[in-house]
Amino acid sequence: MKIFLSYSILNRKLAAQLKDGLKKYGQEVFMAHEDINPSIKWKERILKELDICPVFVALLTENFRGSEWTDQETGIAIAKDKLIIPLMLKNEPHGFMSRNQALKIKEDDIESACFKIMETIVSEGRFTKKIKNDVIKSFGQSNS
């Protein structure tokens, strides 16, 4: 399964920590600034990822609303009926995303945040089998 992570470039390091944490659960996470190679038509790639990722995670920092792209990504994810998981550090969900309960996280406890994200995804019955298979695969590929 693939997760689309929407974030402000100013919070790129925190987003990368979330990506790394979710990888431990066997999840593939799309981060535009890390996963789009030079010379790629980046806007088309973002649209493609929004189309194929069933889960949309919004990193709601103080910089989220100032980004030119995050609200547009959110609108597309809502229109495509993705599972929306707003992660609230300080800012609450706004606009149409505010219909979703936010997951309160702490910047210094990303491990717990990733666990809670996975709990949320698993609680959506449509993903249970896929998550189970991803976690088993992740264990199989670990060195310990």
The domains located in the chain, with CATH, are 2-128 (3.40.50.10140)
pTM equals: 0.84
Strands of the sheet with 28-30, listed across from one edge: 28-30, 2-6, 55-60, 83-88, 103-104
Find the angle CA(119)-CA(124)-CA(76) to the nearest 5 degrees. Answer: 105
* pLDDT tens digit at each of 144 positions of the chain: 799 999 999 999 999 999 999 999 889 999 988 777 677 788 888 899 999 999 999 999 999 988 889 999 999 999 999 999 999 987 778 777 777 778 899 999 999 999 999 999 988 877 777 777 777 777 777 776
